[in-house]
Structure 1
Amino acid sequence: MLAVICDDRAADREILLGFCARYAKEKHLPIANLEFENAGALLNSREARSADVMFLDIYMDGALGVDAARILRGKGYRGALVFITTSTEHYADGFDVEAAHYLLKPVSWDAFCEAMRRVQNRMQITTRRVRVIVGRDEVDIDVSGIKYIEVYGHKTVLHTIKGELAVNQSLSALEKALGGDPFLRCYRYFIVNMDFVKRLNKDGLLMQDGREIPLSRDGRAALKSRYMAYVFARMEE
C-alpha cells in the first residue's frame, strides 16, 4: 500500500508516519509513504497519483486540501481520500470528492485505525473487475473507473476515466455482470455509475463530466428514489 501524507506541519506528518508504521506492523501490511508539505508539491508529483490513500490537511498555506482533492479527482485519481482538519466546516466538500473519512486533530490512534479500516474496505470495492469483450479479446476492467455506459447505433460504449471503450456485449448483459449499486440502469440506452453523478435534475442525471443522461419516463420516480437512497447511504457511511 502507498500512503501519501500532505500537511504543512512537520509534527503532524510525523504522527501519521508513526501511525502508518505501527499499523503496518500490527496488520502485517506493507505501507510505503510519501510526504508533502503543501498541495502544490503533491499535485506536481506523478508518483503520488498512484497512492492507495492520501491523508490531506484541509488548512494549509496556499491551496486547501479540498481544492487539491478536486483537482486530483478531475485528473482521474480514484484512491481513498482522508481529510485531516481542526473543524467540520468542510464536511460537505469532502462528500463532493468522495472522501473516505475525516480525522480531527490531534489525531488519535483509534481514529487512525478506523480511517484505515474504511480505506481497506474501499480498496476491496474499487478493485472489483468486470470482464468485457473487445473485438476478439476478453479484457478485465476496474468497475470503479466506469462512469457510464451507453448504446448508440449498434455499439455499446463504456465511458471510463481513461477514455471510451467499445465492447461486444449488450447493455442487459453488462447490467447483470455489474450487479447493482453503484450502477443504475436509468434509461433504455444507459447505465450510470452513481459515484460519478454530480446532481439529480428534473428529468435526468448530470454527470461530473457535464453530460446529462435522461431518466426513463416509466419508473422515473422509482429511479430518483433509488439514487437518493444510494446518496444517503453513502453519507451515513
Structure 2
Amino acid sequence: MLAVICDDLAADREILLEYCARYAKENRLPIATLEFENAGALLQSREARSAGVMFLDIYMDGALGVDAARILRGKGFRGALVFTTTSREHYADGFDVEAAHYLLKPVRWDAFCEAMRRVQDRINTGTRRVRVTAGRDEVDIDVSGVEYIEVYGHKTMLHTLKGQIVVSQSLSALEEALGGDPFLRCYRYFIVNMDFVKRLNEDGFLMKDGREIPLSRDGRAALKSRYMAYVFRRMEG
C-alpha cells in the first residue's frame, strides 16, 4: 500500500513517516511512503493518486488540505483520506469528502493505529461485492460504488459510480444482501449509501449527485438519529 503524507512542517511529516514504518513492521504490511510539503506539489503528482491512504494537513501554506481533497475526489481519487490538524473547525468538510478519520496534532501512536485500522476496514469494505441479476446475466457489484437504490415502476435500479443498473432483486432482498451500514432503507422505495449523502435536510437526504431522496414519515426521527450516529461513529470511533 502507498501512503502519501502532505504537510508543510517537516517535523510532522517525519512523525508520520516513522509511524508508517513502525505500523508496517508490526503488522507485516508492506507500506511505501511518498511525502509532499504542500498541496500544489501533491496535486501535480500522478503517482500520489494511486495511494491507498493520504494523510493531509488541513492548515498549509496555499491550498487547505480540505480543498486539495475536494480536487482529488473530483479527479476520481477513491483512496482513504486522513486529515491531520490542530482544530476540528473543518470537521463537516472532512465528512463531505469521505474522510476516514481525523488525527489531532501532535499525533499519538495509538491514534495513528486507529486511523490505519479504519483505512484497512475501508479497503476491505471497498472490495466487498454483491451478486445481482441484470437481465439474463449475474453481475458482481462493488458495494462501495453503489450510491443509492430505488424502485421505479416495476424496476429496481442501482445508481452506481459507473452508471445505472436495472436488476431483478427486490429492494428487501438487496437490503438484506448489503447487510446494514453504510446502507440505510430510508423510504419504501429507496436505500441510500450514507457515504454518498451530501446533506441531511428536514425531510430527506441530498445526495452528492444532486438527487433528493425522501425520508419515511413513519420513523423519520429514528432514521435521522441512525444517520447522525453513523456520521459520528465513522469520524470519531
**For residue 138 of structure 2, what is the amino acid of its counterpart?**
E
Question: 2: distance between equivalents of 1:55 and 1:141?
Answer: 29
- Alignment pair present for 1:140 and 2:158: no
TM-score, structure 1 as length reference: 0.86
Cα distance, 1:64 vs structure 2: 0.4
Partner of 1:204: 204
Q: How does 1:1-237 map to 2 (within 5 A)?
A: 1-237=1-237
Question: 2: distance between equivalents of 1:47 and 1:161?
Answer: 23
TM-score, structure 2 as length reference: 0.86
Cα distance, 1:235 vs structure 2: 4.6
Q: Which moved more, 1:130-139 or 1:191-200?
A: 130-139
- Structure 2, unaligned runs of 5 or more: none
Deviations 1:188-212 (A, max 9, x none): 3211111211222232211122110
Cα distance, 1:236 vs structure 2: 4.1
* Identical-residue share of aligned pairs (%): 86
For the residue of structure 1 that corresponds to 2:99, the secondary structure is coil
Decide whether the 8 Å contact of 1:175 with 1:191 is kept in 2: yes
Deviations 1:38-79 (A, max 9, x none): 223323334333322110011222110011122333444332
Cα distance, 1:11 vs structure 2: 4.0
Count of residues in correspondence between the two structures: 237
- Structure 1, unaligned runs of 5 or more: none
In structure 2, relative to structure 1, the CA distance for the partners of 1:224 and 1:107 (3 Å cut) is closer
Please, what is the CA RMSD of the aligned residues? 2.4
